[in-house]
Structure 1
């Protein structure tokens, strides 16, 4: 009897261990099946980011974002802009930003996206005679270069009118050559998405104030960087003065980017361009790029709150100076390179910073809780079946 009881207990014990092992294997299989997609992800991180091992972009956080190493210079404290960004134009690494994804009216800095969209399809030497309807719809108070109906211009003349004089009349004619105003706006929206600029919504291709038209310091830097990689764009945006055709002979035009020309402010050494803007709704905006010691930086400044009309240039100067000193002494807080394709978020003036919020990811087709519950149930069934089999063997023995 004693021997029999010991044998039965041993068998039961072995059966329990087998059942527990079955349950453990099932639970482990459930966890493996759920995979990294089933793991709990931090807010702002999608499944794609988890697979790629990417952290949520810090540039979506409000305030100033910078990752300084020991000995790095401090970010300028005299910058009053609502939003700004400093990036390496070569690598696309963002060195620092402030409210970088805040959506604001861009004014004529949006003409950079217009050029990126339209330039490739219009040969510079193409000649075009302007028709009256092509100049209709220009907003009141718009900056103009002086395009006249029934006059013939080369496309290159019109582009100089866009980049130097910020001429909305030149934009109208180029948009007409590109297929029309609405078609051009749609193409610009597509171009922005292809570049990974998801804060931008285009309504008026010339940057004139329009309900719902917004961009961000981040997106404008993306456009500026992309423009520098286009030879025609780079040439136009770095031109300080030019001649524009007229009935009584060409007249001189000057770039409205004061850091390039030195009008009212000191010229910035090594400045390349790119584009400035102003409207009553947007305030002053600027995309500026400069080269020093083999490194090219791009800076965007949107709506300085102090200092008057020249503040946008002085604040860009401070940020460029800081960027050249800080290069190699700070870690990137983001990148201007496109990430994964995504649907465009709804944009509106003065929208708060966007955080890409997604539901917690789970294994395809099965919620994580369902997978785990199923595994537990399967394990329990395995335990019951094991004991039943063991019981039958004990009776027979």
Structure 2
């Protein structure tokens, strides 16, 4: 049955020079030609015939309950979705593809795009120019010009404090604001997130910038597959470098994770990202794990219940999703719009592009290594190599 409801100055200077080389590689890696939507990997004519049609483009609430399935909660959000993070099966959704402003939940896509390109241990001294265009009223972590930060510090600022100032600096290291937005757009397409339009990488309100509950769930699920992303998004607290030296504590603004402001923390919550702007309202992507199952939910713009409604509605969806295990049929899949595998000449061209992108990435890493070696000398080269290339695998 289907129910539908209507130096370090010197080191930093060198890093900035090397960053110019580094950012050339991600553009090719993420902005390659995208295929039209097709079946998810492993699907074929037989599987497609057996799968029920997706309901995710229908308006209202969509669910396919079996016997003894719990009732889907009635929520005030304009759009929401709950899915199994492992299989990608969407258990229920409401206006899943409705395009709405995402606020800082768009930082999930920013992290998916930029994290792989910037080694966490790199240090960078922030310039005034990098902070010049941070939007008025932005959430900030307190990045200061002429202060040196590790890239890991800046990511803590992005994930915990939703710092738009940290996003601006990381974008500068990734090739600039516009290039980062373009690469985010390309990344969204490769993930099958076709509702997202990126105009401002930090999620700040911008004309034409939209996403959807479907796309945000896709980003959250993809993030969980990255150990680095998962570590940052689940971190409750950290210390951030202060303007005049020393550090100060910062705490994750995801109240469902921390229990702040009298919001009860959710048992088994993994994290991911919350957001708010006056145009978008409150938004949230959250994931939780219980009894060997991992669920991801996205909630966009609850219209009742105040500032904390987004957390309580996400809680209801998670509770329902765990209770509905094996009691509902999927109404769609988070993999449904991923680009289908290429064949024939297209596949050969794609393989050549992948090799070229890999070579570009290797060249960028070499640039980091040369820069670090020139400044650190023999004693520091070993440490720098581990930062850029990672530990040497055993043979």
- Displacement of 1:253 in angstroms is 0.3
Q: How does 1:229-308 map to 2 (within 5 A)?
A: 229-246=225-242, 247-264=244-261, 265-308=263-306
Matched, 1:121 2:123: no
Corresponding residue for residue 135 of structure 1:
131
Corresponding residue for residue 172 of structure 2:
176
- The counterpart of 2:62, out of the listed 65, 73, 77, is 65
Corresponding residue for residue 322 of structure 1:
320
- Displacement of 1:192 in angstroms is 0.2
- Displacement of 1:55 in angstroms is 5.6
Q: State the secondary structure of the residue aligned to 2:197.
A: coil
Alignment: residue pair count: 296
- Displacement of 1:248 in angstroms is 3.5
Distance 1:292 1:194, change over 3 A: same
Distance 1:276 1:248, change over 3 A: same
- Displacement of 1:327 in angstroms is 1.2
Q: Distance in 2 between matches of 1:339 and 1:97?
A: 16
Q: Distance in 2 between matches of 1:209 and 1:307?
A: 23
| Runs (4+) off by over 3 Å | 46-56, 338-342
Q: Distance in 2 between matches of 1:113 and 1:305?
A: 25
Corresponding residue for residue 201 of structure 1:
197
Q: Distance in 1 between matches of 2:38 and 2:297?
A: 32
Q: State the secondary structure of the residue aligned to 2:77.
A: coil
- The counterpart of 1:333, out of the listed 326, 331, 334, is 331
- Displacement of 1:339 in angstroms is 3.2
Q: Distance in 2 between matches of 1:339 and 1:267?
A: 33
Larger radius of gyration between Structure 1 and Structure 2 = 1
Q: Distance in 2 between matches of 1:137 and 1:148?
A: 14
Structure-1-length-normalised TM-score = 0.73
Residue ranges of structure 1 left out of the alignment (5+ in a row)? 1-45, 343-397
Q: Distance in 2 between matches of 1:262 and 1:236?
A: 18
Q: State the secondary structure of the residue aligned to 1:60.
A: coil
Distance 1:154 1:338, change over 3 A: farther
Q: Distance in 2 between matches of 1:201 and 1:219?
A: 11
Q: State the secondary structure of the residue aligned to 2:155.
A: helix
1:372-394 CA-partner distances (Å, limit 9, x unpaired): xxxxxxxxxxxxxxxxxxxxxxx
Q: State the secondary structure of the residue aligned to 2:260.
A: coil
Q: Distance in 2 between matches of 1:95 and 1:209?
A: 30
Q: Distance in 2 between matches of 1:55 and 1:322?
A: 22
Q: State the secondary structure of the residue aligned to 2:71.
A: coil
Structure-2-length-normalised TM-score = 0.73
Distance 1:115 1:65, change over 3 A: same
Corresponding residue for residue 106 of structure 2:
110
Corresponding residue for residue 223 of structure 1:
219
Q: State the secondary structure of the residue aligned to 2:73.
A: coil
Corresponding residue for residue 98 of structure 1:
94
Q: State the secondary structure of the residue aligned to 1:235.
A: helix
Residue ranges of structure 2 left out of the alignment (5+ in a row)? 1-36, 341-395
1:227-249 CA-partner distances (Å, limit 9, x unpaired): 00000000000000100011241
Q: Distance in 2 between matches of 1:50 and 1:125?
A: 44
